[in-house]
Amino acid sequence: MSEVVGTKKKIKNGVVVKVSGDKTVSVLVSGLKRHSLYGKVMRFTVKYLVHDETNRAKVGDQVSITEVRPLSKLKRWCLVDILAHTEESVAEEREIV
């Protein structure tokens, strides 16, 4: 993916919660946000549909995603890197090999 000069694409970290189909995963991104008026710190979670070209991500993996052009009706994010694998996904890869 090439970046256009002068634009900064958002990068977020999250956890894969569902393998939605071929080349698509659902990623849950959570964080903290301060209320603009009252100042209370609140938790928030957002679920994104992410394009996974090589179908590497498994449920429970921690991943890094970036913003891309619209790929479908709801898919606007692409998988950049897998930060950490879960125990189950590592065991599955060993069984396959």
Contact, 61 vs 13, CB < 8 A?
A: no
Reported in sequence order, the residue ranges of the chain that DSSP labels E, i.e. its strands, are: 11-21, 24-34, 41-51, 62-67, 75-84
pLDDT at 1 over 50: no
pLDDT tens digit sequence for 49-95:
999 999 999 999 999 999 999 999 999 999 999 999 987 766 666 66
Q: Global pTM? A: 0.80
pLDDT tens digit sequence for 7-49:
688 999 999 999 988 999 999 999 999 999 999 999 999 999 9
pLDDT for res 97: 60
The full set of domains in the chain, from first to last, is: 11-96 (2.40.50.140)
